[in-house]
Chains A and B, each alone.
Chain A
Amino acid sequence: MENWKQNPRVFWTLGIPPSVWLLAFFIIPLGFLFVMSFSDKAIVDGQVSITGYDYLTGFTNYIRAFDPLYLGIMWKSVWISALATALCLLTAYPIAFGICFAKDKWKPLLLLLVVLPFWINLLIRTYALIAVFRTQGYLNKILGWVGLGPYEMLYNNFAVVFGLVYVYMPFMVLPLYATIERLDKSYLEASLDLGGSQFQTFMRVTVPLTMPGIVSGVILVFIPCLGSFLTPDLLGGANALMIGNVIERQFKAANDWPFGAALSFLLMYATFGALALRYLFSLRSKGVDV
């Protein structure tokens, strides 16, 4: 790598276009959002204006976000995301583990099979789930054959959790696969030779040694779950609102942009918090990393 001063012309030619783009269409828009989050709707002639704003009036929007109603929704978003993340881990771990111990010729195909759904449009996958779970859907049809149902399976928290697991599971498999693949298998042999059962070996050798992958996967899944909008919107309906839906409502139906902006920033801070946690874990586990 060379110092930029050695070739400033090339440095600026390469650096300016992407930096200007990022500044204009990302940093400045976020700045607008930030300012908006501290603003209020203007009052014109004693009436709340639809498009006018009083800028930088204070923290009212943030204070309002801590109203029990919104606090409840935020709390619900956190536990729904946490539950979905836990279920992702429970299903993804055996998958990643299985792929690592599969025959070499099968590995690329199995990995492709795991990742492929991820590339199919989120909306289409969610739509596919609706067709399965709706009251006249495939699952109720099958249950009908054995004399059960029909059940109302959509528009509740269960549907949202299932949808999130379904959609984000591949995100969990990849980091897990990467760490399990690098795991020195002779540790497992040693543990088994020394009389450890398969279960003990798994809990006391495999899991601790693959912790970096688990932490990465958990955070990679938790972040998009927390910020999800489409899944709770289509599968949860009005009964399972998450923070993303409340934000959308402020910008569309409710037309309260300052409040929506404040909620967006709270969501972003939560995201950064999760990323910081991941960073801390990566520092701590550097010593043990295999």
Chain B
Amino acid sequence: MAARLKPGQGPLDYGSRLWLRLLFAAIFFVLYAPIITLVAFSFNTDKRGVVWRGFTLDNYARAWNNASLIEALTNSLVIAVIATVFATVLGALTALLMWRFRFPLKGAYEGFMALPIVIPEICMGVALLLFFVNSGMMEFFVHMPWPLNLGNIIFAHVTFCFPFVAVVVRSRLVGFNRQLEEASKDLGASEWQTFWSIIVPFMKPGLIAGALLAFTLSLDDFVITFFTSGPETVTFPVKVYSLVRRGVSPEINAASTVLIVITVVATVLAMKLQAPPRADKG
């Protein structure tokens, strides 16, 4: 084996092996080609969308003038914003509880909190559907004016988002130097003052990253929304689903591109914030 190495190439220098590079290129091509084509063809003039005929923004104009599509997008954004606020608060409370206290059955509690993350989405979707119908919440919210008729979906989204926020915030809190808290209390600050002026500022990057995560999860969710939405309350993914079932159209490409841009920006931001800055440790 060693005989085949090029000069300057160590036996463990796999990164410079041609076969690995080719494999990398092939896998990334398969991963990205469909998405890039989708984005590219959202600017295509051809209606059938297979052959490139020329650049246009007509598809975006058409998507923009499609009232039901815009309504679905608005619904999705409203749900995502409200669900994010609730999920961030609940997630932060959970994270603080786990980080600060020892209590009986903590392991079991932690397991329960992780359940919404691990159980199949479809199970959670049908369980919530059953619950909303039997508790009368479905009936109650369906007749409410917009945006209150989105209530069910918001409740559902908060439920699957906040455990994720808890995980993100808790991993941020692990790096907290508890002496800061003790110093604050020694200097006469109350529990509340210490919380607001010491702990919250430290948690902030985790809170923002968690909130962005919740926002993307909510905006992207199809399965749970599919089961918990009423006939009048359509979200963007549910709308796209019904369009996709009818066939491929450049209008969907345009709408999808907008959603891709929103999520990618939110994700890259979240990742930047989540990377722990080494300097402020300890």
Task: Give chain A's interface residues, CB within 8 Å of chain B.
Answer: 1-4, 7, 10-11, 14-15, 17-19, 21-22, 25-30, 32-33, 36, 91, 94-95, 97-98, 101-103, 112-117, 119-132, 134, 136-138, 141, 166, 169, 185, 188-189, 192, 197-198, 223-224, 226-227, 229-230, 234, 244, 247-248, 251, 257, 260-261, 264-265, 267-268, 271, 275
Which of B121, B244, B256 lies in contact with A229, CB distance below 8 A? B121
* B50 & A141 in contact (Cβ 8 Å cutoff): yes
In the complex, chain A residues whose CB is within 8 Å of the CB of B32 = 117
Whole-angstrom distance between the Cβ of A283 and the nearest chain B Cβ: 15
In the complex, chain A residues whose CB is within 8 Å of the CB of B35 = 117, 120, 124-125, 128
Whole-angstrom distance between the Cβ of B36 and the nearest chain A Cβ: 9
Given the known interface contacts A120-B263, A123-B240, the answer about A251 and B20 at a Cβ–Cβ threshold of 8 Å is no
Dominant SS at the A interface? helix
Binds A, one of B59-67, B95-103, B139-147: B95-103
The reply to whether the CB of B191 lies closer than 8 angstroms to some CB of chain A is yes
The reply to whether the CB of B120 lies closer than 8 angstroms to some CB of chain A is yes
In the complex, chain B residues whose CB is within 8 Å of the CB of A126 = 244
Q: In chain B, residues 215-234, which have Cβ atoms closer than 8 Å to a Cβ of chain A?
A: 216, 219-220, 222-223, 227
Question: Chain B contact residues (Cβ within 8 angstroms of A): what range?
Answer: 35 or more
The reply to whether the CB of B118 lies closer than 8 angstroms to some CB of chain A is yes
In the complex, chain A residues whose CB is within 8 Å of the CB of B207 = none
Total CB contacts across the A-B interface at under 8 A: 233
Q: In chain B, residues 65-91, which have Cβ atoms closer than 8 Å to a Cβ of chain A?
A: 89-91
In the complex, chain A residues whose CB is within 8 Å of the CB of B91 = 18
Please report the C-alpha to C-alpha distance between residue A2 and residue B99 in the assembled complex, in whole angstroms.
9
Whole-angstrom distance between the Cβ of A161 and the nearest chain B Cβ: 14
Q: A19-B109, A21-B159 are in contact. List 20 more A-B contacts (CB 8 A).
A: A2-B102, A3-B102, A4-B103, A7-B191, A14-B94, A25-B159, A32-B134, A33-B127, A94-B23, A103-B15, A119-B220, A119-B264, A127-B256, A169-B31, A189-B12, A197-B1, A198-B1, A261-B126, A265-B123, A267-B120
* B101 & A11 in contact (Cβ 8 Å cutoff): yes
* A123 & B50 in contact (Cβ 8 Å cutoff): no
The reply to whether the CB of B198 lies closer than 8 angstroms to some CB of chain A is no
In the complex, chain A residues whose CB is within 8 Å of the CB of B103 = 3-4, 11
* A98 & B15 in contact (Cβ 8 Å cutoff): yes
By CB atoms of chain A within 10 A, which of B33, B112, B244 has the most? B244
Please report the C-alpha to C-alpha distance between residue A227 and residue B125 in the assembled complex, in whole angstroms.
12
Query: 3 tightest A-B contacts by CB?
Result: A227-B120, A29-B131, A128-B34
In the complex, chain A residues whose CB is within 8 Å of the CB of B90 = 17-18, 21
* B263 & A119 in contact (Cβ 8 Å cutoff): yes
In the complex, chain A residues whose CB is within 8 Å of the CB of B240 = 123-124, 127
